């Protein structure tokens, strides 16, 4: 994927569309129970961008909850069709994740790791080239 790319997408019904002009910060598959429940699938495919790079048209609804780490997670979704589009984490207010399934053309997506791999369902295929973290790796502080 190029350093900076235009990423576009929408919800299933089309009432909410978005665009981000950004360099990706991170790409991952998350296998935590929260991601499985909120997405209704075996894991979530997530692309993280700087929050200021994402603009959307249409009104999202939000749902907030505390993650296992104690951080506040906020999910943005379409009230009409229920599509989950983005999410934020109170520990990283500078970034937002985009649900890869809502991106118009995500052929470039390549997860850098699996987080919460300890919660992965046994039937989930494993790519041995993608690093596993049992939980969420802790970011190193910048000094």
Q: Taking residues 4-24, report their average pLDDT.
A: 95
Query: Which range marks the domain in which residue 68 is found?
Result: 5-132
Predicted pLDDT of residue 142 = 46
Q: Is 110 contained in some domain?
A: yes
Determine the average pLDDT of the residues in 3-20.
95
Residue 51: inside a domain: yes
Residue 137 forms part of a structural domain? no
Q: Is residue 139 part of a domain?
A: no
How does pLDDT run across 29-73, given as a tens digit for each residue? 988 888 888 888 888 899 999 999 999 999 999 999 998 778 899
Give me 22's structure tokens: 């950004």
Measured distance CA(133)–CA(50) in Å, rounded: 23
Is residue 143, in this structure, part of any structural domain at all?
A: no
**Domain count of the chain?**
1
Split at pLDDT 50, 70, 90, the class of 129 is confident
How many whole angstroms separate alpha carbon 140 and alpha carbon 81?
38
φ and ψ of 37, to 5 deg = -70, -45
Q: 60-98 as b/e, with b when 16 or more CB fall inside 10 Å?
A: beeeeeeeeeeeebebbbbeeeebbbbbbbeeeeebbbb
94 inside domain: yes
Q: What CATH number does the domain containing 17 carry?
A: 2.170.150.70
**What is the band of 76 on the pLDDT scale with cuts at 50, 70, 90?**
very high
């Amino acid at each position: 994927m190029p350093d900076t790319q235009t990423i576009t997408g929408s919800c299933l019904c089309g009432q909410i569309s978005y665009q981000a002009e950004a360099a990706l910060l991170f790409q991952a598959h998350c296998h935590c129970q929260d991601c499985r429940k909120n997405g209704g699938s075996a894991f979530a495919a997530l692309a993280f961008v700087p929050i200021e790079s994402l603009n959307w048209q249409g009104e999202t609804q939000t749902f907030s909850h505390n993650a296992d780490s104690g951080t506040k997670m906020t999910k943005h979704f379409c009230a009409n069709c229920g599509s989950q589009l983005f999410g934020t984490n109170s520990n990283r207010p500078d970034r937002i994740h985009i649900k890869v399934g809502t991106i118009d053309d995500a052929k470039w997506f390549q997860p850098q790791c699996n987080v919460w791999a300890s919660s992965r369902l046994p039937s989930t295929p494993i790519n041995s080239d993608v690093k596993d973290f049992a939980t969420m790796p802790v970011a190193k502080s910048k000094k």
